[in-house]
């Protein structure tokens, strides 16, 4: 009981610490990336915090998987380095006795990883896409405000309205600059109004103004006077595009009408199911992988841990691509990688059982080791 409590306590603290570090790194990266999108006009700066939170929620499953794997390694490596494992091995325990308490600690987290991958991941991706699309497809009329120059969604038009009467839909002192196909067109007028058309279209109608086309230094530059000039500020309501594979719910993935042999939806489902299975496999591999000699450095285990994680995750992504392209059936691809990880964990544990016994005997005095 003392052994189990000590192990779970250290695993809890270490997992929490590693998770906070990874979340901090992830949030910092997302802040830089999303603020860059906002600066380029791809997303609304007001939505930056929401997009950062949604992206962080989407990656929580991966962060928890890495945190659990790294924390298990850190705790066990420290026990070997501080010779605490000598006490446990001398008490009659072996490497196999680590499996049960570690799995009791890891099982709830693996369930959380499964829930995050199956439900939170698609929801966060879908919400992020909707927010971005809503900003990209925003109405130019929403960008019009009195006394300010406002740029349209596609950066093709600039509005300036000195006075705006929303109740009467009247505008005064209007400036509209359009840039299409490298040609500049500027229209100015003292009065106008907002016109609502059938189908949800909106336009600004200018009265008795002037229109300037082209560059003043070019021979095709023109100055036109008009009695009425209309510029569209909102098109018909556009339908939202269908969700991508990463944004679909479990029900949508399972109800895929495409054949099983070629199905991106099945490939996405394979990745979501594979993430908690990968967390389980990594935890089992971490138990024998943490075995180190106290006289040697403790960085070897971490090097192998990074290598194993990269290979495992890349194989999972590669399998997902094969299923998406129809090269491998989803029923064939769902088990080999995780079965291989389980076999590797079993082989390493069996290999560590005898060396662990010989190792702690070498640490004891000769009079005790011969007993």
DSSP letter (8 states) at residue 217? T
Mean pLDDT of the chain: 81
Q: In sequence order, what DSSP letters do the residues of 115-170 get, joined into one string? A: HIIIIIHHHHHHHHHHHHHHHHT--GGGG--BTSEEE-TTSSEEEEEEEEETTTTE
Higher pLDDT, 32 or 199: 32
Q: Please tell me the least confidently modeled range out of 70-79, 85-94, 124-133, 203-212.
A: 85-94
pLDDT band per the 50, 70, 90 thresholds, residue 130: confident
pLDDT band per the 50, 70, 90 thresholds, residue 53: very high
Q: At what angle do helices 60-81 and 48-58 cross, to 10 degrees?
A: 60
Q: Calculate the alpha carbon distances from 12 to 7, 237, 265, 309, 368 in Å.
A: 9, 51, 36, 21, 35
pLDDT digits 0-9 by tens, 309-360: 999 999 999 998 888 888 888 888 888 999 999 999 998 888 876 544 444 4
Task: Identify the pLDDT of residue 371.
Answer: 43
Stretch 277-298: mean pLDDT:
82
Task: Identify the pLDDT of residue 30.
Answer: 92
pLDDT digits 0-9 by tens, 197-228: 666 567 778 888 888 888 777 777 888 888 88
Bridge-partner residues for 176, per DSSP?
159, 187
| pLDDT score of 238 more than 60 | no
pLDDT digits 0-9 by tens, 142-181: 555 667 777 765 667 787 888 877 666 678 888 888 887 7
* Whole-number percent of the chain with pLDDT over 70: 80
Can you tell me the distance from the alpha carbon of 227 to that of 208, in angstroms, rounded to the nearest whole number? 4
Higher pLDDT, 325 or 92: 325
Stretch 31-55: mean pLDDT:
85
Other Cβ atoms within 10 Å of 351 Cβ, number: 13
Can you tell me the distance from the alpha carbon of 293 to that of 77, in angstroms, rounded to the nearest whole number? 9
3-state secondary structure of 341: helix
Can you tell me the distance from the alpha carbon of 44 to that of 48, in angstroms, rounded to the nearest whole number? 7
């Amino acid at each position: 009981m003392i052994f189990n409590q000590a192990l779970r306590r250290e695993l809890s603290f270490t997992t929490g610490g590693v998770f906070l570090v990874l979340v901090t790194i992830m949030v910092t990266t997302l802040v830089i990336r999303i603020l860059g999108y906002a600066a380029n006009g791809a997303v609304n700066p007001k939505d930056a915090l929401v997009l950062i939170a949604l992206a962080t929620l989407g990656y929580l499953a991966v962060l928890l998987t890495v945190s659990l794997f790294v924390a298990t390694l850190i705790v066990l490596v420290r026990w070997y380095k501080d010779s605490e494992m000598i006490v446990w091995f001398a008490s009659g325990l072996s490497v196999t006795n680590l499996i049960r308490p570690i799995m009791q600690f890891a099982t709830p987290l693996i369930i959380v990883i499964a829930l995050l991958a199956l439900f939170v991941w698609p929801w966060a991706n879908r919400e992020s896409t909707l927010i971005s699309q809503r900003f990209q497809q925003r109405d130019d009329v929403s960008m019009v405000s009195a006394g300010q120059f406002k740029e349209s969604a596609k950066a093709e038009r600039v509005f300036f309205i000195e006075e705006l009467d929303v109740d009467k839909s009247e505008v005064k002192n209007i400036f509209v600059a359009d840039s299409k196909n490298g040609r500049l067109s500027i229209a100015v007028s003292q009065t106008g109004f907002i016109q609502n058309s059938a189908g949800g279209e909106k336009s600004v109608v200018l009265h008795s103004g002037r229109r300037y086309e082209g560059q003043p230094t070019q021979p095709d530059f023109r100055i036109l006077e008009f009695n009425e000039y209309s510029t569209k500020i909102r098109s018909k309501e556009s339908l939202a595009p269908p969700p991508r594979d990463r944004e679909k719910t479990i029900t949508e993935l399972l109800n895929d009408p495409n054949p099983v042999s070629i199905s991106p939806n099945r490939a996405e489902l394979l990745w979501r199911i594979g993430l908690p299975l990968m967390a389980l496999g990594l935890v089992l591999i971490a138990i024998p992988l943490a075995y180190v000699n106290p006289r040697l450095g403790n960085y070897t285990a971490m090097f192998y841990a990074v290598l194993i994680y990269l290979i495992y995750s890349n194989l999972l992504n590669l399998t997902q691509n094969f299923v998406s392209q129809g090269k491998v059936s989803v029923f064939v691809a769902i088990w080999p990688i995780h079965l291989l990880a389980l076999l590797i964990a079993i082989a390493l544990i069996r290999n560590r059982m005898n060396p662990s016994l010989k190792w702690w005997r070498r640490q004891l005095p000769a009079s005790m080791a011969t007993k």
